[in-house]
Structure 1
Amino acid sequence: MSALLSPESLQKIQRLDVRARMVVKGFLQGLHTSPFQGFSVQFSEHRRYNRGDDPKLIDWLVYAKTDKYYVKRFEAETNMIGYLVMDLSESMGFTESQSMTKFEYATCLAASLTYLMNMQQDPVGLITFDETLHAELPARSRRGHLGDVLSHLAKLKPTGKTNLPKSLTQLASMLKHHSLIMVFSDLWPSDDAGDDTSSSGNADLNASDLVADAISALARLKYAGHDVIVFHVLDEAEVTFPYDGPTQFVDAESGRSVSVDATGFREDYLAQLQALRDAYREGCNRLKIDYVPLDTSMPFDKALTQYLLQRQALA
């Protein structure tokens, strides 16, 4: 199934709604033969038992099937308001070794999650950001809203610069109801920080202050009572750095260029990339925010499974 849900295979399908439907169908089929059968129950009408819940609410039939404690969700819990938060920075349009750009990959994943939430009749809204926040579509669950979200997603284009901390801070101030916030971004530091460029034209990975600012902004969302998921989407070339010899890299957002000996630079680059990912992972873990690292070579059913693993770990 993973081969059918690879970015290369799905790139041949032009319609985003068809891509999303294929991903969700393949993902749910895979759940029936995986260790996560209980997820389908939890996702629809149950949630994990938490300390303080009345033990009388435990569903023992579900426990017999999953060996885990679940309770029936109350009426007010059954509809989770979700927001797709999409990074529109020009760096998201980068691709090197795959047919899908980071933005196309993120859009397909976002569409698949929208399809899943729509199956549960959960309201889903769409928000985008570059240097500031843009409210695109309000969260709704009415008939036809799935098509509105997917149509809007399909028309989005990554252009311009980005400011992740500012945009997330604006988002925390804007949302009034507890929601599921799904952030899709490459999380590269902005060029405004004055860093050097890297393989896809992004900022130097030694940007601990900017990472801290992003984590601080994510904390505002978490402390406001929102459930937050960060999908860190990178191109396969950004993860593997398949370059050799003298190579020139151009920043997608500022146009600045830098020439390096890629062979000698690879080890340092990969170490800094790992440090960046670790900084985001550790910051998110402290806040009990799901951090899901992805790259554009990963089949979409595997990407959703990675998300599920994170949800299981923090449940």
Structure 2
Amino acid sequence: MTSAPSTAFLPPGLLERLGGLELIAKTVVRGFQAGIHRSPLRGAGEDFAKHRDYQQGDDVRYLDWKLYGRTDRLYVREFEERSNLQAFVVVDTSASMEYAGAGGVTKLRYASYVAAALAHLMIGAGDSVGLAAFGAEARLLLAPRARSGHLHDLLLSLERLAPGGSEGAADVLDRVGVTMRRGGRVILISDLLEDDGGEALAAAAGRLRARGDEVMVLRVLTPEESGEAAPDAGLFFDPEHPAREVPATPRLDPGYARRVGAYYAALADRLRQRGVEYVPLSTEQPVEQALVAWVNRRRGA
């Protein structure tokens, strides 16, 4: 499996100059599809049910030629259509998502790019997609639908998201579980900066998995936060708890990146133990490239 060359992908800062999310989503999906042959986010489609004798007027596309070769009789394959899969994209709009690295887009904007592209892919595959958010409060913004015009409504809702608050993810995940049909898909996009280290989040995600839902957690972080491009000396504070000021020099602190890595590694372990997929993303990476890399990792696994 080969991906499109990295030069074909637009950096997030340049992607932002295209305009609204509708055009950005189309651009990302086009780049993604150029780098991958088949999306792992396929719709439910149809299940083979049984054979029956061919009758004049039947669609010849459904003739089973292999069976004809063995029996010298014409049979038609009948399919049972499955109901379309229900999915929710859950976006973190807490205050920490307003942070942007040097020359980059905010984590919330990057999360919106990813959410828009995935919604575009899933609705295109025939799935019903809903939208939820958490930050100031847990909000179910749009119920899962696949009708014409729903993608436009979903992208418009994403455009209107604004950062604020410090609400964790657990409540909104539980509310999604109550609303959504069992056996669906939940995609959480967040920086995962949770006050309890993510224990409540992991427990809520585990409850969704116990229902039979597919759960993916996409962690969005800037290079400065991850330690890849740690900032110089300064007075730092948590935007969700602005009174907690900490003087620090992350660039000169050899343990900074290690502590950040340990936090996310522990949270990733909690999620994986519950059967939840964990995907680290960087706001520096082109969205199309990140999605292609994710799909290739999935297939390799």
TM range (shorter): 0.7 to 0.9
Report SS of the residue matched to 2:126. coil
* Alignment partner, residue 282 of structure 1: 269
Shift of 1:173: 3.5
Describe the shift of the 1:129–1:173 C-alpha distance in structure 2 as closer, same or farther (beyond 3 A).
Answer: same
Describe the shift of the 1:263–1:107 C-alpha distance in structure 2 as closer, same or farther (beyond 3 A).
Answer: closer
Letter in 2 for 1:156: L
Once residues 240 and 148 of structure 2 are traced to their aligned partners in structure 1, the CA distance between those partners, rounded to angstroms, is: 38
> Where in structure 1 are there 5+ consecutive unaligned residues?
32-36, 48-53, 62-71, 191-208
- Paired residues for 1:78-227 under 5 Å: 79-130=84-135, 132-190=137-195, 209-227=196-214
Once residues 264 and 79 of structure 2 are traced to their aligned partners in structure 1, the CA distance between those partners, rounded to angstroms, is: 34
Shift of 1:302: 1.6
Letter in 1 for 2:177: A
Please give the TM-score of this superposition, normalised by the length of structure 1. 0.77
Once residues 170 and 130 of structure 2 are traced to their aligned partners in structure 1, the CA distance between those partners, rounded to angstroms, is: 20
Report SS of the residue matched to 2:278. strand
Please give the TM-score of this superposition, normalised by the length of structure 2. 0.80
* Alignment partner, residue 200 of structure 1: none
Larger mean Cα displacement after TM superposition, 135-144 or 286-295: 286-295
Please state which structure has a larger fraction of its residues in strand: 2
Once residues 168 and 32 of structure 2 are traced to their aligned partners in structure 1, the CA distance between those partners, rounded to angstroms, is: 33
Please state which structure has a larger fraction of its residues in helix: 1
Describe the shift of the 1:258–1:28 C-alpha distance in structure 2 as closer, same or farther (beyond 3 A).
Answer: same
Q: Does residue 1:235 correspond to 2:241, yes or no?
A: no
* Alignment partner, residue 259 of structure 2: 272
Letter in 1 for 2:282: D
Report SS of the residue matched to 1:178. coil
Once residues 307 and 179 of structure 1 are traced to their aligned partners in structure 2, the CA distance between those partners, rounded to angstroms, is: 20
Report SS of the residue matched to 2:166. coil
Letter in 1 for 2:128: P
Q: 1:48-77, CA deviations, whole angstroms, 9 ceiling, x for partnerless residues?
A: xxxxxx9xxxx9x9xxxxxxxxxx995216
Q: Does residue 1:300 correspond to 2:287, yes or no?
A: yes
* Alignment partner, residue 75 of structure 2: none
Letter in 1 for 2:249: D
Letter in 1 for 2:214: D
Q: Please say if residues 2 and 301 of structure 1, whose CA atoms lie closer than 8 Å, have aligned partners that are also in contact.
A: no
Report SS of the residue matched to 2:197. helix
Structure number with larger C-alpha Rg:
2
Q: Does residue 1:76 correspond to 2:82, yes or no?
A: yes
Report SS of the residue matched to 2:102. coil
Once residues 238 and 23 of structure 1 are traced to their aligned partners in structure 2, the CA distance between those partners, rounded to angstroms, is: 25
Report SS of the residue matched to 2:200. helix
Q: 1:232-265, CA deviations, whole angstroms, 9 ceiling, x for partnerless residues?
A: 0011211224223x31112212212211233443
Once residues 31 and 241 of structure 2 are traced to their aligned partners in structure 1, the CA distance between those partners, rounded to angstroms, is: 40
- Paired residues for 1:242-257 under 5 Å: 242-244=230-232, 246-256=233-243, 257=245
Shift of 1:278: 1.2
Letter in 1 for 2:131: L
Q: 1:94-141, CA deviations, whole angstroms, 9 ceiling, x for partnerless residues?
A: 012233100000001100011111211211111111254211011111
CA RMSD in angstroms, aligned pairs only: 2.7
Identical-pair percentage: 29
Moved over 4 A (4+): 44-47
Q: Please say if residues 44 and 85 of structure 2, whose CA atoms lie closer than 8 Å, have aligned partners that are also in contact.
A: no
Describe the shift of the 1:212–1:236 C-alpha distance in structure 2 as closer, same or farther (beyond 3 A).
Answer: same
